Amino acid sequence: MAPKSLDSLLASDDPRLAEATAYVLAKPGKQLRQRLVITTSELIAGAPVAGASTVATAIEWLHIYSLVHDDLPAMDDDDLRRGRPTVHKVYDDATAILVGDGLQAAAFAAIAGESALDAAVRVNIIELVAKAVGFNGMVGGQALDMAGEKQQVDIDGLRRIHAQKTGALIRAAVLAGALCAQASQQQLNALETYAEKIGLAFQITDDVLDVTQSSAELGKTAGKDSEANKSTYVGLMGLELAAREAETLLNDAISALALFGERGADLTALAQQMVKRSH
């Protein structure tokens, strides 16, 4: 759940909407994007950064909003998420849409209202995050992903889809954490490389797990991409080569942290967790 200071942004006079919002937030998942914000900010500052936790929560809300909408029948059409029925199955499509809309609005309100961060920093983070979830980010990536169903997409096209649909918010999480701590341009450049590599590796791992794990293990419906005739890294490269590509990208991401020396250990560990996960 959200920190108590942010609870007011999630309040609704409609009991059904409030209940559905609480339902989706009750199973927070791995919170990888949230952890990327915090870990990156602490890497740069060497200590906890005031306001970074709010930005981290906001970015996690945006991720949750995207999952709620992606699961809808008009999108990826899934009945299971994080081991439970999806929001539209428990409530209805309209409620799920409104939950996602509300979480998106609350996320930007949270960042805008975080007085612990300098106003210019807040503006920069809002611009960064807005682009990550917009037409050249998550929204655009989802559109490309849906357009690619039932047809063969080449590897460059697949990378473009997932750089937007999945990678953009991962990149925004890392860079937002860096901005919270007022990172230098050199640091931002290194972290951007890290984020882009790990974002793609994360998606390749997702494709691998989709064909190697069960729905119970994944907490979502296994084999959905195959059923929808979507192009995947496993489908284009084969299971072994896809897993090897994820490992190469992981190593590239870790190498990008060389600038930080031993201080980059926590981001290295987080990258390894993202790629070597089993669900």
- What pLDDT score does 96 carry? 98
Alpha helices in the chain (DSSP H): 15-25, 32-45, 52-70, 87-90, 93-112, 119-133, 138-147, 155-162, 168-180, 185-212, 215-218, 224-227, 233-237, 239-256, 265-275
Residue ranges of the chain whose pLDDT lies below 70: 1-4, 217-220, 222-228
Main-chain dihedrals φ then ψ at residue 80, nearest 5 degrees: -135, 135
Burial of 212 (0-12, 13-18, 19+ CB in 10 A): middle
Write down the domain spans for the chain. 15-275
- What pLDDT score does 204 carry? 93
Whole-angstrom CA distances from 125 to 129, 131, 179 are: 6, 10, 7
- What pLDDT score does 218 carry? 65
Distance CA 186, CA 192 (A): 10
Hey, which residues does 84 pair with through a beta bridge? 81
Main-chain dihedrals φ then ψ at residue 271, nearest 5 degrees: -60, -45
- What pLDDT score does 217 carry? 67
102 CA to centre of own chain: 17
pTM: 0.94
17 CA to centre of own chain: 23
91-109 pLDDT per residue, tens: 999 999 999 999 999 999 9
Amino acid at 238: G
63-91 pLDDT per residue, tens: 999 999 999 999 999 999 988 999 999 99
Candidates 250, 174, 255, 240; CA nearest to 207 is: 240
- What pLDDT score does 43 carry? 98
Fold of 15-275: Farnesyl Diphosphate Synthase (1.10.600)
